[in-house]
């Protein structure tokens, strides 16, 4: 029987899934690794940690999945977007990878926009140049670590570094490449105008594929290290959001996904490329060949709850054996909607949608002596939901059809958080029979490349169905009165965010 492997190189860890052709999860494995913040606003990881986690995950799958390695007919890759892996002429990593949530490149974003011209940037990439994107990281390295930059021969995105280790190929695909500020998004190829403006050579970049295309095959060396069969095809895959959308069945107009992972993403399919006139959202190539998507991104969604868990909530889970997030959300249910006037701004890593502001920071507003841990936790769930609503409101102003909202990610596993989102959005939420995120979507893309499925839409139709339905209740009107206050807080604090950032930076 043919099986598919999906690998997702996430920010907190790598997930590996073994999937049957009917979408059944045969085996799964996850391995975590650290995120390093050497300075305020910086975020880096060691690509060696990604590779070690990938190898361990594959070996776990092969030992527990109960199949021969030859039964894996295709492998799909997904991963955190925008990160930069700098390689020398031998393919060795030159420095820690700079991640999507790193905010050091504000000056480089302005420089690129001036150098290329705002009109060129928008015509070619359909997006402003943002601090999380890849091109500013390249310019930052050239300006701040010139000796290292002089040795750079290839620049890869996180999942594409794993592809290189698995196949020896320098390759990427259109959805992930869309977040570099170097791709001509309407034409789905590297932008010659952007590269020329930044004095970058296309030779430094990997070849661009469509997401279901075979981009390489498992090398003899990788086969020995991982246990996979030599020659197994590896498809282009997708950036985590595009692959996650495939795994959630968002491959036709009208269906919108709301994903609450480390980041928070509102994602809608488009048959033609369209951009928000104010450029608050991102328009990227979809993992469906010849299609596009628009998404709003908040940088700290589930990441805000993880921050609370690590900084303030560890003791609650000590020795209990329970999932710490379950404990936190159970405690949050003890607080009333609106948390008795407590509002949380989830800008712990700056923000992207609707405010492209690397200086923005997290805030608890309205604290009083009455507030307890339950209020603090629930305020995070509500604040993140307000932030996601910002993106939904933009999609509505763009005139996009929203016939169904599909919830996914770690936040969707919480009944309380799903209800809060349904109330804040004032929209029905559905969850799907499979909630394995980008790794599942990557496996489906591998199935298309391996001709298990005729196309991406067929892969989704054969494997994905609705499993649960959450409708707004009477709290929706209550949250609607709080939402304008949430929005007004950023405007009141914007200048102070920048001032404090300069003081500590």
Q: Using an 8 Å Cβ cutoff, are 285 and 175 in contact?
A: yes
Q: Using an 8 Å Cβ cutoff, are 211 and 175 in contact?
A: yes
CATH 3.30.420.40 positions along the chain are 3-248+438-464, 302-431+469-500
Q: Using an 8 Å Cβ cutoff, are 381 and 335 in contact?
A: no
Rg (CA), the chain: 22
Q: Compute the distance between CA of residue 238 and CA of residue 246 in angstroms, rounded to an integer.
A: 9
Q: Using an 8 Å Cβ cutoff, are 109 and 21 in contact?
A: no
Q: Compute the distance between CA of residue 122 and CA of residue 384 in angstroms, rounded to an integer.
A: 29
Q: How far apart are the first and last CA of the chain?
A: 56
389 three-class SS:
helix
Q: Using an 8 Å Cβ cutoff, are 240 and 175 in contact?
A: no
Q: Compute the distance between CA of residue 424 and CA of residue 30 in angstroms, rounded to an integer.
A: 32
**Ranges of the chain with pLDDT below 50:** 316-317
Compute the 3-state secondary structure of the chain and give helix, strand, coil in percent, each to the nearest 5. 45, 20, 35
Tell me the fold of 302-431+469-500: Nucleotidyltransferase; domain 5 (3.30.420)
Give the 3-state DSSP-derived string for 346-374, with helices as H, strands as E and coil as C: CCECEECCCCCECCCCCEEECCCCCCCHH
Distances (CA, A) of 231 to 7, 67, 168, 411, 445: 17, 17, 12, 38, 18
Q: Using an 8 Å Cβ cutoff, are 236 and 209 in contact?
A: yes
pLDDT of residue 316: 47
Q: Compute the distance between CA of residue 445 and CA of residue 425 in angstroms, rounded to an integer.
A: 31
For 91, the token pair is 């393919």
Q: What is the DSSP string of 86-115?
A: EE-TTS-B-SPEEPTT--TTHHHHHHHHHH
pLDDT of residue 1: 73
b/e 187-226 (16+ beta carbons within 10 angstroms → b): ebebbeebbebbebeeebbbebbbbbbbbbbbbeebbebb
Q: Using an 8 Å Cβ cutoff, are 243 and 438 in contact?
A: yes
Q: Compute the distance between CA of residue 161 and CA of residue 141 in angstroms, rounded to an integer.
A: 18
Catalytic position from the list 102, 240, 357, 435: 240
Look-up of token digits 């981009």: 215
pLDDT tens string 392-431: 999 999 999 888 899 988 899 999 999 999 999 999 999 9
Distances (CA, A) of 159 to 164, 220, 330, 364: 9, 20, 35, 35
Tell me the fold of 3-248+438-464: Nucleotidyltransferase; domain 5 (3.30.420)
Q: Where are the beta strands (DSSP E) in 241-348?
A: 255-260, 264-270, 282-285, 292-298, 343-345
Length of the chain measured in residues: 505
pLDDT of residue 427: 92
Q: Compute the distance between CA of residue 403 and CA of residue 416 in angstroms, rounded to an integer.
A: 23
pTM above 0.85, yes or no: yes
**Residue whose C-alpha is closest to residue 124's, from 207, 181, 206:** 181
Q: Compute the distance between CA of residue 177 and CA of residue 185 in angstroms, rounded to an integer.
A: 9
- Residue 91: count of CB within 10 angstroms of its CB: 14
Task: Mark whether 240 is an active-site residue.
Answer: yes
Q: Compute the distance between CA of residue 376 and CA of residue 366 in angstroms, rounded to an integer.
A: 11
For 492, the token pair is 């009141």
Q: What is the DSSP string of 8-26?
A: EE-SSEEEEEEE-TTS-EE
């Amino acid at each position: 029987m043919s099986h598919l492997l999906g690998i997702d190189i996430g920010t907190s860890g790598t997930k590996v899934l073994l999937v049957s052709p009917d979408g059944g999860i045969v085996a799964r494995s996850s391995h975590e690794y650290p995120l390093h913040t050497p300075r305020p606003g910086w975020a880096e990881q060691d690509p060696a940690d990604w590779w070690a986690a990938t190898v361990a995950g594959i070996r776990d799958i092969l030992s527990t999945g109960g199949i021969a390695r030859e039964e894996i007919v295709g492998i799909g890759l997904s991963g955190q977007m925008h990160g930069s892996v700098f390689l020398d002429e031998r393919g060795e990593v030159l420095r820690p990878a700079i991640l999507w949530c790193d905010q050091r490149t504000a000056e480089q974003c302005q420089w690129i926009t001036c150098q290329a011209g705002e009109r060129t940037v928008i015509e070619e990439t359909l997006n402003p140049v943002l601090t999380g994107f890849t091109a500013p990281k390249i310019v930052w390295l050239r300006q701040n670590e010139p000796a290292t930059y002089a040795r750079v021969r290839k620049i890869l995105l996180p999942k594409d570094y794993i592809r290189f280790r698995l196949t020896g190929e320098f390759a990427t695909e259109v959805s992930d490449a869309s977040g570099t500020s170097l791709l001509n998004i309407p034409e789905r190829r590297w932008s010659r105008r952007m590269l020329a403006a930044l004095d970058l050579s296309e030779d430094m970049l990997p070849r661009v594929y469509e997401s279901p295309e075979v981009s390489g095959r498992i090398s003899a060396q990788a086969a020995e290290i991982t246990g996979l069969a030599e020659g197994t095809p590896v498809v282009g895959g997708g950036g985590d959001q595009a692959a996650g959308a495939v795994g959630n069945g968002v491959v036709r107009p009208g269906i919108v996904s709301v994903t609450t992972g480390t980041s928070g993403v509102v994602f809608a399919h488009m048959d033609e490329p369209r951009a928000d006139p104010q450029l608050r959202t991102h328009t990227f190539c979809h993992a469906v060949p010849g299609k596009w998507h628009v998404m709003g991104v908040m940088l700290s969604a589930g990441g805000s709850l993880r921050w609370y868990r690590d900084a303030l909530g560890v003791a609650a889970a000590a020795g209990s054996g329970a999932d710490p997030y379950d404990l936190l959300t159970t405690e949050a249910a003890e607080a009333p909607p609106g948390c008795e006037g407590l509002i949380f701004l989830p800008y712990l890593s700056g923000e992207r949608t609707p405010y492209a502001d690397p200086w923005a920071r997290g805030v608890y507003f309205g604290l009083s002596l009455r507030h307890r841990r339950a209020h603090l936790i629930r305020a995070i769930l509500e604040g993140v939901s307000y932030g996601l609503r910002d993106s939904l409101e933009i999609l509505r102003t763009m005139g996009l059809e929203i016939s169904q909202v599909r919830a996914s990610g770690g936040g969707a596993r919480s009944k309380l958080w799903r209800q809060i989102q349904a109330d804040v959005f004032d929209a029905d939420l559905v969850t799907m029979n499979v909630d394995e995120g980008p790794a599942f979507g990557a496996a489906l893309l591998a199935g298309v490349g391996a001709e298990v499925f005729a196309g991406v839409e067929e892969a989704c139709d054969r494997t994905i169905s609705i499993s649960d339905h959450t409708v707004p209740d009477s709290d929706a009107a209550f949250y609607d009165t709080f939402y304008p206050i949430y929005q007004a807080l950023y405007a009141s604090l914007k200048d102070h965010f920048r001032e404090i950032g300069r003081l500590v930076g």
